[in-house]
Each structure stands twice: as C-alpha cells, then as structure tokens.
C-alpha cells in the first residue's frame, strides 16, 4: 500500500501538533468563555516606568472574581474559631492595614509579641513577616488562621464552614472553576485581594514623580533632601517602594531579646535582623518597630539621630554611616524629616471603598 506524499505531510503535521500541545501550559481564561476575568491592578504610568509590573504570582493570576472573593474572605470573621476576628480586625484600612495597638490580641485574649505589619504594595515583595519566613503572600496567609494566639482555628473547620455557607461555593466556582473549597483556594483569593492594595498617590508622589512643585512645603522638601542624603534613610527604604527585600539589624539594641531572623535560622550573624517595613503611609501606622517601642515618628527619628547602637557586632552594613559618625542631624533636621514622612500619607488609599468591607 502506498500513501501519497501530501497525505504523509498532513499526518506528520498533525502528530507534531498534538505532541506540542501536550507541553503547552493551559490557557488562562480571559472571561470571554465564562471563566474568571483577568484583572489588572490600576497603576500610575510612572510606577510601571520606574518600578515595573508586580512580580507574577505562580498559579494565582489576579482575577475580578478572585479579588472580590478575597475581599469578602479578608473581612469574614468566620475564619476565626469563635467568629469574632477577621484579617481586617488586625489590618485596618485607616491605619494602612496595620494594627494601631502595640500588639494584636487573639480571640482568647492572647497578646502577640510583634507589631502587625502594614499591607501596602506587597505585590512587589517576596519576603513576609518581620523575620521573612514566608516567601509568598499565599504562604503568609496560611499562618494567622491556625495561629494559637491569633484566630485559633484549623483549616478543616474553616473549609467546612465555607462549604456549608449558602454563598461561598458559587463564589469559589466563579473564581476558581470549582465549588469544592479548599484552604489553598482561600489563601489564593485573599492574596489576590491584598495585591490590589497599592498606594502611590501621596503628596510626595505628586512632587517627585508627577512634577507638582507645589505639592510639598519648603520644610517637607528639606526633609526629603535629608531623607535622600544626610539622613541615609534611603539606604534601606529604597526608591519608589520605600522598602527593600531584606532583614537588617538597625542597631535598636546591643543584645536584642527577639532574635528576628536569627531565631529562625539559628545563625548568630542574623540575630536582631528584621524586615525593612514600607514607609508609605508611615504617619498612620504607629506604633513603630517590630516591638512597638516607639509611639511617634518623632521618637523614631530621634532614635536614628542619636541612639543607634553602633557597637552592636551584627549591625547591618547599611548602617555604616552611623558607625562612622556620618549621621549628624540638628533638631531642625529632625523636625523637617518628620514633616516629610507625613507627606507620604495617601489619603485615597486609606479611604478607598474598594478596599473596605464589602457591603
């Protein structure tokens, strides 16, 4: 039996097409076929030019349906053991999604040992918690539910509650294509919502990136100069995001009680290292430092001006200007620096109804 050459060519192309299709990733639904609709977080053009897009989350594309579900879950007290606490209980929008209390209080009255961190611009970050122990928002979101001094629940209980709810199965179906709920989908949805919590509309942004020379007062402009130069603040609170992706020992103590990263790694050189927090909206996120030791920005600036423990053997290399006596701020410099830090407040972020509890 002899096959014609055109037929052989067609068969060969078909086999190659099928073989290649096996190795291609599954397409992301764009919403046209009825699946979840991809969502692009709105950002000013200068952010995309200066910082670039968010780091893509593996296997967790941000969608309209996922964000809506995550928002509802973020504010749902069903996640706690006694229905008294949600993520939003300790991450309050008016405080840039942190807790105005020195330490958050769990459902049984237990008190935490570290200040709740702000949830701002985390789509560009890859280390979470003060000691950096989580490498993704999804990993971070698993922790509080089962933490014995926070929500004090278990994931099987949470999943059973959500599955029995009259609304949630359909919401998970819309977001993830299945109404069979599991904990992985819960944290994926919460993480999608958290990635929408972006803040780039302070007066500082208007001045620095949008050319509005009147957006900052003369005092605030001097504070900005100190921040970028003699104060060496920018050495760690870098660029447009005003944080970096490291844990650093900033000389709070000679012998820190809380080891931070060192308690996690067991490496003495890591003792007293903590994550560099974002400074955006810093005026509303007090108290300050991992242990809430400072109540005001004035206290924070005064510490950096006069009280850094420069003889700490594990002091971060970024603190060398302090070690070598190069940071010398006058009382007026301190006032100007505090004034500038207030100009980092983004009132639209703090009041945006899209970030608050769903109605």
Q: Alpha carbon 62 to chain centroid distance? A: 15
65 catalytic? Reply is: no
List the helix and strand counts (H, then E) for the chain.
15, 2
Residue 290 is encoded by which pair of tokens?
A: 């991992």
> Which run of H or E residues covers position 89?
helix 87-90
Q: What is the rounded CA–CA span in Å between residue 220 and residue 230?
A: 15
Phi-psi region of 211 (alpha: psi -120 to 50; beta: other; left: phi over 0): left
Q: Alpha carbon 79 to chain centroid distance? A: 20
Considering only CA atoms, which of 194, 67, 120 is closest in space to residue 350? Answer: 120
Considering only CA atoms, which of 45, 321, 80 is closest in space to residue 210? Answer: 45
Phi-psi region of 59 (alpha: psi -120 to 50; beta: other; left: phi over 0): left
Residue 97 is encoded by which pair of tokens?
A: 């999604």
Q: What is the rounded CA–CA span in Å between residue 74 and residue 138?
A: 13
Q: Count Cβ atoms within 10 A of the Cβ of residue 352 and give its class: 0-12 exposed, 13-18 middle, 19 or more buried.
A: middle
DSSP state of 294: B
Is 47:199 a contact under the CB 8 Å cutoff?
Answer: no
Q: Exposure pattern of 91-100 as b/e (b: 16+ CB <10 Å)? A: bbbebbbbbe
- Which of the residues 24, 94, 138, 150 is marked catalytic? 150
Tell me the β-bridge partners of 21.
none
> In sequence order, which ranges of 241-319 are alpha helices (DSSP H)?
261-265, 297-306
Q: What is the rounded CA–CA span in Å between residue 85 and residue 183?
A: 18
Residue 87 is encoded by which pair of tokens?
A: 């993520």
- Show which residues are catalytic: 150
């Amino acid at each position: 039996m002899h096959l014609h050459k055109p037929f052989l060519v067609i068969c060969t192309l078909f086999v190659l097409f099928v073989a290649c299709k096996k190795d291609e990733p599954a397409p992301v639904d764009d919403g046209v076929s009825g699946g979840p609709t991809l969502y692009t977080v709105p950002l000013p053009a200068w952010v995309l030019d200066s910082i670039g897009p968010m780091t893509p989350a593996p296997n967790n594309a941000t969608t309209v349906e996922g964000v809506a579900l995550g928002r509802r879950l973020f504010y749902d007290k069903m996640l706690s053991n006694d229905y008294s606490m949600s993520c939003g209980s300790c991450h309050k929008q008016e405080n840039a999604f942190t807790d105005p209390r020195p330490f958050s209080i769990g459902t049984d009255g237990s008190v935490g040992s570290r200040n709740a961190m702000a949830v701002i611009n985390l789509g560009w970050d890859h280390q979470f918690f003060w000691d950096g122990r989580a490498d993704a928002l999804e990993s971070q979101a698993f922790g509080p539910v089962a933490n014995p001094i926070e929500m004090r629940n278990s994931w099987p209980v949470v999943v059973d509650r959500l599955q029995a709810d009259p609304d949630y199965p359909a919401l998970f179906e819309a977001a993830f294509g299945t109404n069979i709920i599991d904990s992985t989908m819960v944290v994926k949805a919460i993480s999608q919502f958290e990635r929408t919590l972006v803040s780039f509309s302070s007066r500082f942004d208007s001045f620095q990136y949008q050319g509005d020379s009147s957006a900052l007062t003369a005092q605030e402009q001097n504070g900005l100069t100190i921040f970028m130069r003699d104060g060496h603040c920018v050495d760690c609170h870098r660029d447009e995001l005003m944080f970096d992706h490291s844990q650093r020992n900033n000389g709070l103590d000679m012998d820190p009680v809380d080891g931070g990263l060192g308690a996690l790694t067991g490496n003495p050189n890591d003792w007293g290292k903590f994550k560099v927090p974002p400074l955006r909206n810093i005026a509303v996120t007090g108290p300050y430092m991992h242990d809430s030791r400072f109540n005001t920005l004035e206290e924070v600036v005064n510490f950096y001006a006069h009280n850094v423990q420069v003889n700490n053997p594990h002091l971060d290399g970024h603190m060398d200007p302090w070690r070598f006596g190069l940071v010398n701020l006058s009382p007026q410099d301190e006032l100007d620096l505090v004034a500038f830090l207030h100009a980092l407040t983004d009132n639209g972020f703090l009041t945006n109804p899209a970030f608050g509890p769903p109605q």
